[in-house]
């Protein structure tokens, strides 16, 4: 995974989609609890602090892979280059 804001080096290889959780059912809550303990934070408290922020409207074209069961995949292929 590559993020410019944390100083990662330029990635090499096929592009990969970076995504975020969109439903609570996607989260491993045991890992959240461990993270909260490690960083001395409370995810439930932070969630409560953001409760007044309206939920965004989801674009119906998002998550097409869930609807179609298909996704795009890139393969790495070596080839000769000439000037």
Could you report the per-residue pLDDT of 9-36, keeping only the tens digit for each? 777 766 666 677 878 898 999 999 999 9
**Closest by CA position to 16, among listed 73, 71, 63, 81:** 73
Domain limits, the chain: 24-54
Look up the pTM and report it: 0.50
CB environment 48-82: b (16+ within 10 A), e (fewer): eeeeeeeeeeeeeeeeeeeeeeeeeeeeeeeeeee
């Amino acid at each position: 995974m590559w993020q410019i804001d944390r100083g990662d080096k330029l990635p090499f290889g096929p592009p990969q989609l970076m995504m975020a959780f969109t439903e609570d059912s996607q989260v491993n809550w045991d890992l959240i609890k461990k993270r909260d303990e490690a960083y001395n934070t409370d995810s439930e408290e932070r969630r409560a602090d953001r409760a007044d922020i309206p939920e965004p409207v989801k674009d119906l074209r998002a998550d097409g892979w869930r609807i179609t069961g298909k996704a795009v995949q890139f393969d790495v292929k070596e080839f000769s280059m000439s000037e």
